[in-house]
Amino acid sequence: MAILPILVAPDPRLKTKAKAVEKVDDGIRQLMEDMLETMYQAPGIGLAAPQVGVAKRVVVIDVAKEDEEPQPLRMVNPEIIWASDDEELYEEGCLSLPEQFADVVRSVAVRVRYVDHQNEIREFDADDILGICVQHEIDHLEGTLFVDHISKLKRNMILRKLQKARKDQPVTV
Ligand code: NI
């Protein structure tokens, strides 16, 4: 397994639509394991392949609490096949927008269909933190970040902060 570098906004690769995976092979399985290790180390509860520079529809999630057994979800080509009309406001962050948070409106519950690491098609219903996380990660596959759901003013403020943080980083040679 390997820890992969996580892209930080504004990076054009985070704004690209990811391509569907035709077959789950060893390469995809390895990518999912590397993404899980990267996510746990960050630490985060979800990671999409575009965040590690891979433009494929692959997502990993684990919303287990610290004192619970890990519950890793490995999803290929995930799609939301139903979303509740009810919406809720939830404060979100993202590993690609470090230390930035904003309230985002999401569906309260969604039904997700995906292909698992053994090429089986699966479905599940998600609400609460898992529901939010799934919607956030599938957004990444469309090149959508949580800041794309908030006002332009607030989005630009966050992106400018991140750009400045990048410029202020010391150069290591
Ligand atoms: Ni994210």
CA of 92 to the centre of ligand 1 (A): 9
Residues of the chain below pLDDT 70:
172-173
CA of 136 to the centre of ligand 1 (A): 6
For residue 10, say if its preceding peptide bond is cis, omega within 30 degrees of 0.
yes
pLDDT of residue 167: 81
pLDDT of residue 1: 75
Known catalytic residue at 142? no
Supply the DSSP symbol for 113.
Answer: E
Q: Closest by alpha carbon to 112, among 86, 92, 132, 96?
A: 132
CATH 1.10.1040.10 describes domain 12-168: no
